[in-house]
Amino acid sequence: MTTLDGVVDLDVSGATINRHLYGHFAEHLGRCIYEGFWVGEDSEIQNSGGIRDDVVQALKDIAVPNLRWPGGCFADEYHWMNGVGPREERPSMVNTHWGDVVEDNSFGTHEFMRLCELLGADPYVSGNVGSGTVAEMSDWIEYLTRSGDAPMSRLRREHGRSEPWKVPFWGIGNENWGCGGNMTAEQYTQLAAQFATYCRNHDGNELYRIAAGPNRDDYHWTETLMKSISSLGGPARTPKHNGWQALSFHYYTHASDDWQHKGSATEFTAAEYHETMVRAWRIDEIVRGHVRVMDAYDPEAAVGLVCDEWGTWWDVEPGTNPGFLFQQNTLRDALVAGLHFDVFHENARRLVMANIAQTVNVLQAMVLTDGARMVLTPTYHVFAMNAGHQDATSHPVQVRSADAAYEGEQGSYRTLTTTVSSKDGSALVSLTNLDVDGPATVRLALRGKVWEVARARVLAAPSVQAHNTVEAPDAVAPAQFDGARREGDTLVVDLPPHSFATVELTLS
């Protein structure tokens, strides 16, 4: 039995947990867009204008705040003009990054914006820096966001959309250190300034421009970007009309350094589980590393940090296209998500957005589809149970004592994490027990407000390999939980092994 004993002052506010930390990512990759979201208007699967209704409803139920599109690596070979106008007239292209398949561009700008409208999600569009031009990106923004008689506004109306859309988030390329052009930090930083200059704000639409930052812990890339807008000690120059306001980074979790053999999504040993958690915990070190670099040049945190690709990445399921990145999703993946969210919450002063990769049928997905059937993954349930943290005020947990840790050949890591937040007269306590074998008890002295336990739920299963299928869709699903209780002014939660739980409180 491991324990954590802490104190939380509910009348002391920490950073606000930006709802966009619960963002999503949909790339033209495998069956994410086609079959996942888009089935076409003539499909027997129930749809709205070609977008499948069941997936949309599932994602609305977890309050998806934003959706990133069209990539990913695909973004830097995507030319948006090929994806507008009558579908039967749109030219095709080869998706060289993902499966070397022919893309017919039947899902393009109008379809994506309609998807965001159905979801109630803010669009996050990634523009093409790798193979595109400044003019092409500028025209796309005009097409999307400008009214009146501008050339791209007229073209949009010809294609059936009278009013412009609101597009709050704009990515200036993707992974330009790799698939987006194999650039150096210095090369990209110059291009980011050039492209951002022509990412115009039209008709009251204010873009939050996100520079493509580093892979994992490449702090030199982050520093090079920050040096271009500031000097040591700041303040940073983040003009709203001709500069970028945030930078991104990517980090994936797997169980091996061998990129060709990352491990199975469902068949893994205890040693591979521990290796996964050691690597998952690196997100804490990496976020804090980028924050330290940014703080040196921008102590007021005017520039946002965005983790717009994160999640687990395993070997594809046997018999599937290796370029489609289709993998199952177990309780292990859900625990990785719980850990990531606690790290994101702790760094909410600087970290303003995160996008899990990816939403449907690819990597650590929320939803898996099989024809007309759909399965919600264990990771989906973490998003659902944590929804109350979105735009809530965090309350730091002051740990008085803890013995919750794993030490072994793979390394060491803490096995208990938690977040406490509040909004609208209620509080949410989320807890992750990474201990694969042992239960845990968390004791939190909650001070500063009168509180009562309203509801508790737990996500658990007999093994960390448990996962949902169309035959057994609820093998891993939230259940009412009787392991949370009040002892005086202390919330006591008894967690089963390898579990994620939430406790909802009423405040007065």
Among 337, 372, 390, the domain-final residue is: 390
Q: Is residue 85 part of a domain?
A: yes
Task: Examine the domain organization and report whether 345 and 444 are in the same domain.
Answer: no
At 235, the pLDDT band (50, 70, 90 cuts) reads confident
pTM of the model: 0.96
Domain-terminating residue out of 330, 363, 390: 390
Determine the 3-state secondary structure of 497 from DSSP. coil
Tell the burial category of 371 from Cβ atoms under 10 Å away from its Cβ (0-12, 13-18, 19+). exposed
Q: What pLDDT digit, counting tens, does each position of 378-409 carry?
A: 999 999 999 999 999 999 999 998 888 999 99
Task: Tell me, yes or no, whether 404 and 269 share the same domain.
Answer: no
Domain count, the chain: 2
Q: Does residue 239 have a pLDDT over 70?
A: no
**What is the span of the domain harbouring residue 403?**
2-9+394-507
Same domain for 478 and 348: no
Residues serving a catalytic function are 175, 309
Cβ neighbours of residue 39 closer than 8 Å, sequence gap 6 or more: 45, 47, 50, 51, 52
Are 115 and 36 within one domain? yes
pLDDT(4) > 80: yes
Q: Write the CATH number for 427.
A: 2.60.40.1180
Indicate whether 148 and 169 sit together in one domain.
yes
Q: What percentage of the chain reaches a pLDDT higher than 70?
A: 99
* Domain identity same for 183 and 216: yes
- State pLDDT tens for residues 347-377: 999 999 999 999 999 999 999 999 999 999 9
| Predicted local confidence at residue 242, as pLDDT | 60
Q: What's the rounded Cα separation, in Å, for the pair 382 and 331?
A: 10
Q: Kindly state whether residues 369 and 465 are assigned to the same domain.
A: no
pLDDT tens for 251-271 read 999 999 898 999 999 999 999
* Domain end (from 390, 415, 435): 390
The string of DSSP codes covering 40-81 is -TT-SS-EETTEEHHHHHHHHTTT--EEEES-SGGGGG--GG
Residue with tokens 């039947």: 106
Question: Contact at 8 Å (CB) between 209 and 124?
Answer: no
Summarised one tens digit per residue, pLDDT across range 165-210 is: 999 999 999 999 999 999 999 999 999 999 999 999 999 999 999 9
Each residue's pLDDT tens digit, 421-457: 999 999 999 999 999 999 999 999 999 999 999 999 9
Give the CATH number, domain containing residue 79: 3.20.20.80
Instruction: Give the span between the Cα atoms of 431 and 281, in whole angstroms.
Output: 15
Whether residue 230 is found in the same domain as residue 366:
yes
Predicted local confidence at residue 231, as pLDDT: 85
Of 352, 374, 243, 360, the residue nearest 287 (C-alpha): 352
Task: Read off the pLDDT of residues 5-31 as tens digits, 9 standing for 90 and up.
Answer: 999 999 999 999 999 999 999 999 999
Task: Examine the domain organization and report whether 188 and 43 are in the same domain.
Answer: yes
Within a domain: residue 436?
yes
Q: How much is the average pLDDT of 63-92? A: 97
User: Do residues 133 and 263 share a domain?
Assistant: yes
The pLDDT score that the predictor gives to residue 230 is 87
Whether residue 233 is contained in a domain is answered as yes
Same domain, yes or no: 268 and 152: yes
- How many CA atoms, within 13 angstroms, populate the side-chain half-sphere of residue 300? 7
pLDDT value, residue 489: 95
DSSP 177-213: TTTTT---HHHHHHHHHHHHHT---BTTB--EEEE--
